[in-house]
Amino acid sequence: MQSYVFKVKPIGPKYHIGYIKKPMGSVQYENGVYFLSTFSSAHLSSSFTGDYVASSRCFIGAPVASSSSLSLLYGKKNSYPLRKFHVSAKKVSGLEEAIRIKRMREAEASSKVKRNPPLRRGRVSPRLLVPDHIPRPPYAESGLAARVLNSAGTLVKPSVTTNEIDKAVHDMIVEAGAYPSPLGYGGFPKSVCTSVNECMCHGIPDSRQLQWGYNYIDVTVYLDGYHGDTSRTFFCGEVDEGFKRLVKVTEECLEKGIAVCKDGANFKKIGKRISEHAEKYGYNVVERFVGHGVGPVFHSEPLIYHYRNDEPGHMVEGQTFTIGLLLFHLMMDTICVCRTDSDNWTTLTADGGVAAQFEHTILITRTGSEILTIC
């Protein structure tokens, strides 16, 4: 089957390429120019969702307008604003088309990650005690939260239970004269969140032994009247390259989100920068969970959206908040939806896929920002 490759150049810096099979409409060649006509439902793929080529005659070098007045696609009105394009085309041989399809399928296959058996809950041990002389929460010395998280990460090995990790975290925090912020917060029964494999966040430590995969650990400590909140994804045993890449890109997204933080910057820049980097690798941001203000209160304003948004507000010197994003790989035939377990805390991916998360507490300064949860 003969194909034509149409190169769409919006009025801007990037090219977007779409493929249209010849039988979908007529392609004419006149005086060195390819013409498109009678494309009743065909459209060129573009990063601008909803921008479709009109069914009228279009040709190389001529601007093509895309707006709500141009077309109805599959019965849905295109409500996106007017954009102008220049369209060019070249003839593609059958071999070139076959190679393109093969490469596309290989890329899809390499991006898939190994699936584990469904997650099974273990037995939750009794709640641990905190000495009475330690103040209860109504930002902790940030180095403590980071040290506790690093120490917890060394325990992530096959056969270790998340209960053991919780006990080690609890003891280290209490020995430092601090309170484990999650303990009792909204009824949460443990001192740390341990989220395994398809568990996205808020996993409750229990008797289940770790096996192949990953463990996302979320540590928050309360010391001297302030909370410090940080988290990281740790590998457990051997993991496949697809998941390693997801974790690497998630951490990079956090770094890029932090890089835009400074006094006077708009909060929405964080989500824009994170989304841009994630989408380059075919990943999506979990929109259900957001960053938050942190200080004397565990969770407060401002809310930090890790995806593109138009929320108002800007950063102010002295402000502290978390950036804690979750990324997942959206398969072509899957819609990622979170589901919450019967304990009302444990949140899992509905399709059993994996996700990765990183989080830091940030202090806004006059010239930029300072990461408080590192040591």
- Here the CATH number for the domain that contains residue 205 is 3.90.230.10
Q: Is 299 known as a binding-site position?
A: yes
What confidence score (pLDDT) does residue 67 get? 38
What confidence score (pLDDT) does residue 89 get? 55
**Same-domain pairing of 71 and 182:** no
What confidence score (pLDDT) does residue 303 get? 96
**Same-domain pairing of 51 and 155:** no
Q: Is 359 known as a binding-site position?
A: yes
Structure tokens, 193: 């969140």
What confidence score (pLDDT) does residue 317 get? 92
Q: Return the closest-CA partner of residue 123 out of 168, 163, 170.
A: 163
Q: Is 329 known as a binding-site position?
A: no
In this structure, is residue 167 part of a structural domain?
Answer: yes
**Same-domain pairing of 364 and 252:** yes
**Same-domain pairing of 148 and 85:** no
**Same-domain pairing of 54 and 163:** no
What confidence score (pLDDT) does residue 337 get? 62
**Same-domain pairing of 104 and 155:** no
**Same-domain pairing of 166 and 46:** no
In this structure, is residue 126 part of a structural domain?
Answer: no
In this structure, is residue 71 part of a structural domain?
Answer: yes
Q: Is 224 known as a binding-site position?
A: no
- Domain membership of residue 51 as a residue range: 3-110
What confidence score (pLDDT) does residue 111 get? 61
Q: What confidence tens digit (pLDDT) does each residue in 167-197 have? A: 999 999 999 999 999 999 999 999 999 999 8
Give 11: exposed, middle or buried? Use CB within 10 Å, 0-12, 13-18, 19+. Answer: exposed
Low pLDDT (below 70) residues in the chain: 1-92, 109-115, 127, 132, 135-142, 330-337
What confidence score (pLDDT) does residue 66 get? 40
Structure tokens, 148: 């506790």
In this structure, is residue 133 part of a structural domain?
Answer: no
User: Does residue 350 contact residue 283 with C-beta atoms inside 8 Å?
Assistant: no
**Same-domain pairing of 31 and 151:** no
Q: Is 218 known as a binding-site position?
A: yes
In this structure, is residue 125 part of a structural domain?
Answer: no
Give 255: exposed, middle or buried? Use CB within 10 Å, 0-12, 13-18, 19+. Answer: middle
Number of structural domains found in the chain: 2
What confidence score (pLDDT) does residue 147 get? 93
Q: Is 206 known as a binding-site position?
A: no
What confidence score (pLDDT) does residue 117 get? 75
In this structure, is residue 351 part of a structural domain?
Answer: yes
43-47: long-range contacts, CB 8 A cutoff, minimum separation 24:
43/18, 43/73, 44/6, 44/8, 44/16, 44/18, 44/20, 44/87, 45/16, 45/17, 45/18, 45/19, 46/8, 46/10, 46/16, 46/18, 47/14, 47/16
**Same-domain pairing of 21 and 85:** yes
**Same-domain pairing of 251 and 104:** no
The verdict on whether omega for the bond into residue 302 sits within 30 degrees of 0, i.e. cis, is yes
In this structure, is residue 128 part of a structural domain?
Answer: no
Q: What is the largest CA-CA distance in the chain?
A: 88
In this structure, is residue 121 part of a structural domain?
Answer: no
**Same-domain pairing of 183 and 269:** yes
**Same-domain pairing of 23 and 160:** no
